[in-house]
């Protein structure tokens, strides 16, 4: 069988809904697209732990401190699980981490921004984890079986995180006027990064991840589901969305958002390319931890294999 015939047979399997296992033959384009996507996902999990980690010492109660600590641990755990999945596609964990802290690979746009108040923790927990869950649930249908298994576990934990975030948000919106104002202010500051969360609308026919079934839904499809789920909930608790152009169009059956101050794709690209407001600080922190803990990795790797 020629390479092209093998690729065609592989594509037919994906189109028929079959899942691909790690050890199976796969076209170079599939391997490379899956690796890049899963590596970026893993990077985002470990970098995503940092904005919330900053608030563990400042959590208002012991209960909140415990739950936030557990959530941060979960996010780092997701990173570990996803790096393991990515490793089987041909890149070592050490190389992936080195590429991350050196700025050669990307992580999600929302984790390049500062967290300024406890209201930000509620926004991350409810709206950003909510946005992530929309994406991650869609990945349960991915064509790459090890990724699907990882997503099953991650989605279960993200559902817990969503509840945690919703609980935090509800505490603020039903609290004192200052607490409501704190949450509203956080929503206003985070709205643009949230609108950027799924990336710019793209042509599904040219999306290589959709072609190979690694991703199953387009950016805009996911954003529409997010808006449908969360904007009405915000409105119901009296929290406004700062984009004046955002509205539900009954006739079109979709959310309309214009080219306003609240969607700026230049800012999105600047941010994910490593020029966000907190990019260098967070990468520096991650690199310091990587260097400080080198002895743990060395000890770990130094155990004689005969012990296995």
Partner 1 sequence: MFVWDVLGKRTDGDEFVVVGGVKAPDADMALLLARETHFRHKEGVAYAVRRRGDDEILLGTYDHDQLGGVTDRSYRRQDAYAGVGGKLKRISADMAQRGLAIDSPRPQSGRVRPAEH
Q: What is the CA radius of gyration of the chain?
A: 20
Which span sits near partner 1 by CB under 8 A: 40-48, 154-162, 266-274, 281-289? 154-162
Binding of partner 1 at residue 72 (CB under 8 A)? no
Give the integer Cα–Cα distance in Å for 35 and 191.
30
Instruction: Decide: is 240 part of the binding site for partner 1 (CB under 8 A).
Output: yes
Among 170, 199, 208, 270, binds partner 1 (CB under 8 A): 170
| Near partner 1 in 263-302, by CB under 8 A | 300-302
Total site size for partner 1, rule CB under 8 A: 65
Inter-CA distances, 41 with 4, 163, 229, Å: 30, 22, 23
DSSP secondary structure string for all residues of 4-32: HHHHHHHHHHHHTTPPBPTTS---HHHHH
Binding mask 241-270 for partner 1 (x = CB under 8 A): ------xx-x-xxxx-x-------------
By the rule CB under 8 A, 225 interacts with partner 1: yes
First to last CA, the chain: 40
Indicate whether 308 belongs to the interface with partner 1 (CB under 8 A).
yes
Q: Which stretch binds partner 1 (CB under 8 A): 24-32, 49-57, 61-69, 284-292?
A: 61-69
Instruction: For strands 247-249 and 254-256, give the pairing.
Output: antiparallel
Q: What is the DSSP string of 68-123?
A: HHHHHHHHHHHHHHHHHHHHTTT--HHHHHHHHHTTSS---GGGGS---SHHHHHH
Contact footprint for partner 1 (CB under 8 A):
63, 66-67, 70, 73-74, 77, 80-81, 84-85, 87-88, 93, 146, 149-150, 152-153, 156-157, 159-160, 163-164, 166-167, 170, 173-174, 201, 203-204, 217-218, 220-221, 224-225, 228, 231-240, 247-248, 250, 252-255, 257, 300-303, 305, 307-308
């Amino acid at each position: 069988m020629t390479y092209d015939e093998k690729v065609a047979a592989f594509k037919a399997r994906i189109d028929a809904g079959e899942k691909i296992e790690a050890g199976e033959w796969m076209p170079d384009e599939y391997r490379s697209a899956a690796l890049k996507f899963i590596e970026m996902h893993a990077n985002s999990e470990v970098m995503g732990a940092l904005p919330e980690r900053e608030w563990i010492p400042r959590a208002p109660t012991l209960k909140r401190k415990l739950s936030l600590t557990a959530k941060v641990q979960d996010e780092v755990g997701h990173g570990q699980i996803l790096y393991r999945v990515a490793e089987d596609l041909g890149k070592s964990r050490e190389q992936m981490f080195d590429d991350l802290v050196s700025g050669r690979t990307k992580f999600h746009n929302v984790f390049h921004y500062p967290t300024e108040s406890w209201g930000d923790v509620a926004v991350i927990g409810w709206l950003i984890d909510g946005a992530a869950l929309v994406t991650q649930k869609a990945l349960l249908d991915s064509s790459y079986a090890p990724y699907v298994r990882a997503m099953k576990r991650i989605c279960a934990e993200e559902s817990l995180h969503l509840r945690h975030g919703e609980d935090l948000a509800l505490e603020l919106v039903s609290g004192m006027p200052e607490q409501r104002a704190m949450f509203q202010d956080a929503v206003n500051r985070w709205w643009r990064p949230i609108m950027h969360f799924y990336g710019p609308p793209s042509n599904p026919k040219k999306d290589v991840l959709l072609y190979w079934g690694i991703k199953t839904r387009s950016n805009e499809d996911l954003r529409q589901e997010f808006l449908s789920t969360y904007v009405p909930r915000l409105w119901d608790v009296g929290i406004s969305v700062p984009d004046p152009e955002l509205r539900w169009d009954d006739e079109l059956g979709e959310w309309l958002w214009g080219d306003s101050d609240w969607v700026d794709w230049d800012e999105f690209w600047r941010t994910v390319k490593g020029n966000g407001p907190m990019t260098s600080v967070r990468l520096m922190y991650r690199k310091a931890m990587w260097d400080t803990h080198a002895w743990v990795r060395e000890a770990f790797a130094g155990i004689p294999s005969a012990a296995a």
